[in-house]
Each structure stands twice: as C-alpha cells, then as structure tokens.
Structure 1
Amino acid sequence: MPSETLKPVAAAEASPTTGSTGRRPGRPTQRILTVDSIVDRTLAIAGQEGFAAVTMNRLARDMGVTPRALYNHVANRQEIVDRVWVRMINEVTLPELDTDEWRDSFHVLWNSLRTQFQKYPRLLLVALDEHITSAGTSPMRISVVEQALTFFTSIGLSLRQATVVNEMLMADLFSFALTADYHYGRRDEQTRAMTFQPVPEPWLDQHPEVDAPLARKATKESVSTADELFGFIVESRIAYVEKVLGQ
C-alpha cells in the first residue's frame, strides 16, 4: 500500500474551462491527504451519523478531493472501517482500579469508559452496521480485556463470572452511549428533563382519555439526568457482584 506520506494527486493542466489553478470554479481546494486524515474524517462522520453515512464520495467531498485521490492511500472503504475501529480501540484506556475498594472502582471503571465512548457514540454501531476484518484487530483490544478480567477475578469472581460481568460492562456502555447519552446530550434543557420519563408528559397530556395513573405519577418520580440513571446502573452491577460473592 502507498506510504501515508504520498504526495497528493497532481492538479489537472490548465484549460479554458478550469483556469490557471486546474480546478473548476466552486470546487473545494484539494488538500494533502494522509491515512490519518482520512481516518479522522471518518471518525467525525461515523461518530455522529453512523457508518451508513460514510461513503468514498462523502469522504472525498468533505475533504475537498476526488474519490480517486482517496485510493492513493487506502485500498477501499473496508480498510477505512478497519482502521477507524483500530484507532478507537487504541484510544481506550482503563483507569487505576483498587481491589480493596472494588465498589468505588466499579464506578470509576464504568464512568471512565462511558466518558471515552461518549466522543463517538454512533461509532459503536459498527458491530451492527459493518464487518470488522482481521485487519481491524488490535493488541490493545486484548490488553484492555485482560486488564478488566484480572481486576474482576482479583476481587473474588471466578473467570466465568468475570467474563459475565465484563459483558455486562460492555452492554451497559454501548447501550447507554447510544440510547441515553446520544439523545440526552442533543436535547435542550426544557426537554432533557423528560428524556427518562416512562411516557413523556406531553404525550400523556395529549391523551387524557388513557387511564395511566402510574405513568402520570412517574413523570415526577423518574430520574432527570443521564448521570443519575447511569449511577443506578453501576449500583445494580455492584449488587449483582455482591450477591455472587455472598456479601
């Protein structure tokens, strides 16, 4: 594959229709490309819109180049997907965890990874939208799991129990980033308070004929912030581990 520092495709020769710059009026100025810059732009698109929005034409348009120029640096779209996933995994870090204060460490671990995943919430849909090839694997992916399993077994869980808790952790982070943080963070202050109501109050007001006393009362009892709800999720995981450990 060409080096990541290859020069950009040469501009077309001047013509009566393109002028002395070699580009048509209104066309974005071609920029110097690298593999990293392509990955950066893909992260920005997929992180907010999902991988379905990532096409070679979209990338080229956003970056002010032709689709052909992208192929000087990557073989195809699949390579970009794999590289984006590797980039994301390589950026994940685990915080310092204390086995003696494992309950506090659960909050630290869950919240630390949640913060990291919040940067590119829709990127987590890669498991549903895309296929990751062997090129999309990373040693860091193995290392992070090993560290997590080491922590979980160090507090007394069997390896099987540790794998279950690790899957709980991943499910909590992926689902919360996509279904709670993504929407909550994009709403204004007025509508944020209704995000976690079982049935939003305006919907109830629109259908007063529906007998739903508990749903109506729940509008005042539900959590009001994403942080509050996430805290309860972590506490539920702690309670599960306490039960398994017989504490």
Structure 2
Amino acid sequence: MSEPLPPGRRRRSPRTRAGRATLTADSIAATMLGLAGRRGFQAVTMQDLATELGVTVRALYRHVQDRSEVVDRAVQLWLSQWPEPELDPKDWRASLRGFCRLHRQIARRYPRALLVSLDEQVGDMRVPAQRLTAPEGFLRFLVEVGLSLDDALLVHADLMIRIYGLVLLVDYRVDIGAAVDQQYPAPQNWLDQRSDLDLPLLRRAATQSRFDSDGLFDHMVAEVIRTIENLAAPAG
C-alpha cells in the first residue's frame, strides 16, 4: 500500500477512460457509503473500494489521506441526506405518518450504515445543517401538538428506535430477498430441529401466518400516534 500524500500536495483527478467517471474524494466516499450500507463499514476495505471503482488502491490514495478520511466523508454524505419533511401540527397524524414513511425509506437506502457508531470511530467533521434542523423541527412539531419537551424527546427516541429496528431486523432481510416470513417468531428449521418441545403456537404460526413488514410498520406508527394522543390529552 502506498504512503499517503504529504500535507499540502494537491490531489488532481486523473483523466479517465471513456465511460468511466472521474475519480474524486467524493466519488470514493459515495462508493464507501453504498458498500457500507449493505455490508457495514467494518467490512469495507480500501481494496474493496478500488475493485468497485475499477482502479488500483494506489489511485485512491491520490485523492484521500487514508481510510478514516473516506469513512468521515461517507458519514458526512449520509447525514447530508437526512430527511427534513414538512410537518403540520393541525394535521399532525397525517404529518407523522409521512415523517415515518420518509425516515423508513431513507434508512432502507443504507441500512447497515445505521451501525456506524458501533463500527467506526468517526472523526471531527462539519455536520450537515439538516442533521440538526430536522430533529429540531420534529421536536417543535410535537411541542406544538401539545407535548412537553420531555415527552417530545421520549416520543422522538421511541420512534427512531422503532423505525431503525424495523429497517435493520426486517426490511434489510426483505430487501436482500431473504424469507423473512420464515424467520418470525422462530425459523422453521429451529422448530424442525426441536421436535421434542411442545410448541403448538409457534408451529401453527409457522404454517398459517405470513409475516407482513408493511403491516408491522403501520401498527408501529399507530402505536406512536396513540402514545402522542395520551401524552397530549392532559393539555387538552
């Protein structure tokens, strides 16, 4: 692996072969985000990036200092796509449903990037504005609906855990073509393996029920709506 360029040396984009985009630090970061979104950040090496981009590892180091810089840039790119939906307190139930659908949709683009704080030590970087203005706007929306700030924070945390848990544990499997309906509440092969156990409800569920990820999402949103109704009720 080549040594990184010394500070102050300018990295110039090389001319490319016909049909291939110019290699830049941004294109390397975008490739990292795409791969990490499917595999997780720790699973993506500089060689993986080079292979995906059709270049050598040496070529990557003409544009980035090291892998840590690539990770930082990829995280910044991901945060720049943070959803900032319009929220109307007068029609808050419809707004909340739209907010949840949008967050789920965005999270499904790069599901395993949600684990970046567990996989990587992200360095100092300029946080994109919407990563801060979006949650500020959502908290303001909940306060205008009638929640206290403490209750709004509780709802926000509850909602994010529900959405990201669904994306990581269910949607991710659906999107890669895995048979999710055969995994919940217990995989069929586990039930077959333990024929000695009396599990009538699990066995009936495995043969008669079909897991519906969209139905689960709708149920989840309905539960959050009920929580907000209960929290806002004392304030009228």
User: Into which bin does the TM-score normalised by the smaller protein fall?
Assistant: 0.7 to 0.9
Q: After TM superposition, give the deviation of residue 102 of structure 1 in Å.
A: 1.6
The 1:75/1:136 distance shift into structure 2, 3 A limit, reads: farther
Correspondence for 1:40 among 30, 39, 49 = 30
Sequence identity (%): 36
| Cα pair 1:43 1:120 within 8 Å, conserved | yes
Look up the equivalent residue of 2:225 and give its one-letter code.
I
| Cα pair 1:113 1:173 within 8 Å, conserved | yes
Q: After TM superposition, give the deviation of residue 201 of structure 1 in Å.
A: 4.0
Residue 5 of structure 2: aligned partner? none
* Pairing 1:178–2:168 present: yes
Residue 118 of structure 1: aligned partner? 108
Look up the equivalent residue of 2:164 and give its one-letter code.
F
| Cα pair 2:33 2:75 within 8 Å, conserved | no
Measured in 2, the distance between the counterparts of 1:90 and 1:240 equals 30
* Pairing 1:212–2:218 present: no
Task: Give 3-state SS (helix, strand or coil) of 2:203's partner.
Answer: helix
* Pairing 1:227–2:214 present: yes
Q: After TM superposition, give the deviation of residue 220 of structure 1 in Å.
A: 6.1
Residue 130 of structure 2: aligned partner? 140
| Cα pair 1:82 1:136 within 8 Å, conserved | no
Correspondence for 2:56 among 38, 63, 66 = 66
The 1:156/1:3 distance shift into structure 2, 3 A limit, reads: farther
The 1:7/1:204 distance shift into structure 2, 3 A limit, reads: closer
Look up the equivalent residue of 1:49 and give its one-letter code.
R
Task: Give 3-state SS (helix, strand or coil) of 2:95's partner.
Answer: helix
Task: Give 3-state SS (helix, strand or coil) of 1:131's partner.
Answer: coil
Residue 8 of structure 1: aligned partner? 14
Q: Give 5+ residue unaligned stretches, structure 1.
A: 11-29
Look up the equivalent residue of 2:181 and give its one-letter code.
A
Measured in 2, the distance between the counterparts of 1:153 and 1:2 equals 51
Deviates more, 1:215-224 or 1:71-80: 215-224
Deviates more, 1:130-139 or 1:144-153: 130-139
Query: Per-residue displacement from partner, 1:161-198 (whole Å, max 9, x unpaired)?
Result: 1112111222122221111100122236xx34324x31
* Pairing 1:166–2:149 present: no
Measured in 1, the distance between the counterparts of 2:122 and 2:57 equals 22
| Cα pair 1:47 1:120 within 8 Å, conserved | yes
Measured in 1, the distance between the counterparts of 2:122 and 2:161 equals 19
RMSD: 2.6
Measured in 2, the distance between the counterparts of 1:131 and 1:202 equals 38
Residue 97 of structure 2: aligned partner? 107
| Cα pair 2:30 2:77 within 8 Å, conserved | no
The 1:41/1:148 distance shift into structure 2, 3 A limit, reads: same
Query: Per-residue displacement from partner, 1:133-175 (whole Å, max 9, x unpaired)?
Result: 2216222211111111111111111111111211122212222
The 1:187/1:246 distance shift into structure 2, 3 A limit, reads: same
Query: Per-residue displacement from partner, 1:1-45 (whole Å, max 9, x unpaired)?
Result: 6667x23299xxxxxxxxxxxxxxxxxxx9741122101211221
The 1:153/1:222 distance shift into structure 2, 3 A limit, reads: farther
TM-score by length of 2: 0.84
Q: Give 5+ residue unaligned stretches, structure 2.
A: 1-7
* Pairing 1:193–2:173 present: no
TM-score by length of 1: 0.80
Measured in 1, the distance between the counterparts of 2:177 and 2:117 equals 26
Look up the equivalent residue of 2:28 and give its one-letter code.
I
Deviates more, 1:89-98 or 1:76-85: 89-98
Query: Per-residue displacement from partner, 1:186-233 (whole Å, max 9, x unpaired)?
Result: 236xx34324x3123453344332111222333367562211111111
The 1:103/1:222 distance shift into structure 2, 3 A limit, reads: farther
Look up the equivalent residue of 1:227 and give its one-letter code.
D
